[in-house]
């Protein structure tokens, strides 16, 4: 059985970029509600060290890895973060009589700012499942209905939703995958780089999964390797059969709105949310001024993920991210230098380059990304057939 591990990066609170974030937050708080130009960052801002949806606590961590992050609750009166650890009782928890999991650390698959995920099972069938426990207050009914309607082999399936009013929480029962892309890159890939075949699978499957989200007007806002779950061809193989987009905890459904000059018929978003290393410039720019955004932010995140899959490294360090956010806030795109990418095929390089455009008008749209990904997959399939 394959297991998962988190990124071995410094906690968000210790990074220079987080200092910028906290400074902007305090300025916005001090300015009061009448300061329309300041954006209070979303509670869903995450560290690169956040747990993945499926992560085994038994997986050995490198010596430089931070301690397990605890869930965070913001106290607006004190402007501080209160860390609320999960209490393991070792008891068997039954949900609606059909699902169960053991509330012990060895059964934990992952933990983040909003919830905790356990390995569980469906009692009626014995099927292994992932059980995610979330505060009911963090769930929007309108968005929940959309999530329930999603049906794609390239999105992690939501099997059941079990509200528990007595505990003020809701359980999401999801399909269980083998591991996540972050773990695969760290433990199964040579130099943390995907093989050509696995890379093409990742590109095509992400494109197909996101195409479904796009049709439903869903902006994910936190696409990263930890939120791409994978299934292997068999238990002894590291060849990826399917990749699935997961963790819709901070996703938003764009609400219908009046057509603007560009013919856009939905309301834009304008708060800070996501994981800094994969955050689009126009999202981070909201630390400084109001910058509206939509699906294009996910295209940037996908570009960062693909760059990492090809090179084994993140495309931007913290200094670069600060410059990106400043450039996006000021509309100064001329100073932007794309990260170099020369270790892939021209077709893949063209896709990643077009995804990492700082100017959203030049960046690939979800539809364009889908078409290029399918064309890439088709051409490679044809080459393979001809070689046989």
Instruction: State how far the Cα of 222 lies from the Cα of 275, in Å rounded to an integer.
Output: 6
Known catalytic membership, residue 182: no
Q: Name residues whose C-beta falls within 8 Å of residue 76's C-beta, 6 or more positions apart in sequence.
A: none
Q: Is residue 233 part of an annotated ligand binding site?
A: no
Q: What's the DSSP call for residue 65?
A: P
Task: Decide: helix, strand or coil at residue 5.
Answer: coil
Instruction: Identify the active-site residue in 222, 247, 294, 298.
Output: 222
Helix (H) / strand (E) element for 287: namely: none
Cβ-based neighbours of 74, under 8 Å, separated by 6 or more: 43, 80, 81, 82
What are the beta bridge partners of residue 116?
Answer: 111, 133
**DSSP letter at 79?**
T
**Who's near 87: CB < 8 A, 6+ residues apart?**
none
Alpha-carbon gap, residue 132 to 129, rounded angstroms: 10
If we measure between CA atoms, which residue out of 198, 209, 231, 185 comes closest to residue 302? Answer: 209
Distance CA 116, CA 132 (A): 6
R_g of the chain, CA atoms, integer Å? 21
**Cα–Cα distances in Å, from 243 out to 64, 93, 152, 229, 298?**
29, 30, 11, 6, 16
Numbered residues of the known binding site for ATP = 133
- Binding-site positions read 133
Would you please indicate which residues are annotated as catalytic (active-site) residues? 222
């Amino acid at each position: 059985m394959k297991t998962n591990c988190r990124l071995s990066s410094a906690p968000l609170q210790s990074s220079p970029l987080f200092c910028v974030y906290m400074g902007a937050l305090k300025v916005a708080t001090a300015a009061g509600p009448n300061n329309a130009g300041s954006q209070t960052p979303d509670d869903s801002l995450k560290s690169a060290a956040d747990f993945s949806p499926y992560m085994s606590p038994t997986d050995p961590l490198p010596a430089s890895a931070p301690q397990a992050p605890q869930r965070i609750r913001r106290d607006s009166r004190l402007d501080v973060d209160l860390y609320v650890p999960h209490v393991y009782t070792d008891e068997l928890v039954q949900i609606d009589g059909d699902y169960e999991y053991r509330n012990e650390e060895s059964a934990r698959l992952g933990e983040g700012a909003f919830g905790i995920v356990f390995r569980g099972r469906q009692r009626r069938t014995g099927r292994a499942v992932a059980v995610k426990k979330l505060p009911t207050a963090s769930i929007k009914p309108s968005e929940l209905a959309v999530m329930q309607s999603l049906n794609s082999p390239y999105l992690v399936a939501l099997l059941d939703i079990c509200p528990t009013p007595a505990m003020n929480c809701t359980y999401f029962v999801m399909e269980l995958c083998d591991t996540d892309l972050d773990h695969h890159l760290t433990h199964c890939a040579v130099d943390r780089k995907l093989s050509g075949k696995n890379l093409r699978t990742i590109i095509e499957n992400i494109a197909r999964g996101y195409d479904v989200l796009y049709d439903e007007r869903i902006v994910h806002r936190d696409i990263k390797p930890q939120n791409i779950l994978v299934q292997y061809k068999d238990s002894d193989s590291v060849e990826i059969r399917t990749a699935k987009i997961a963790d819709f905890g901070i996703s938003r459904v764009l609400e219908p709105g009046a057509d603007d000059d560009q013919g856009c018929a939905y309301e834009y978003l304008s708060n800070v949310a996501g994981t800094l290393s994969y955050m689009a410039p126009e999202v981070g720019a909201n630390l400084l001024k109001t910058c509206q955004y939509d699906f294009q932010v996910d295209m940037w995140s996908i570009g960062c993920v693909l760059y990492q899959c090809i090179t084994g490294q993140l495309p931007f360090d913290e200094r670069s991210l600060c410059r990106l956010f400043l450039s996006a806030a000021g509309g100064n795109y001329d100073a932007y230098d794309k990260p170099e990418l020369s270790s892939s095929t021209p077709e893949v390089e063209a896709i990643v380059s077009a995804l990492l455009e700082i100017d959203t008008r030049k960046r690939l749209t979800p539809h364009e990304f889908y078409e290029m990904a399918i064309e890439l997959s088709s051409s490679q399939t044809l080459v393979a057939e001809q070689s046989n």
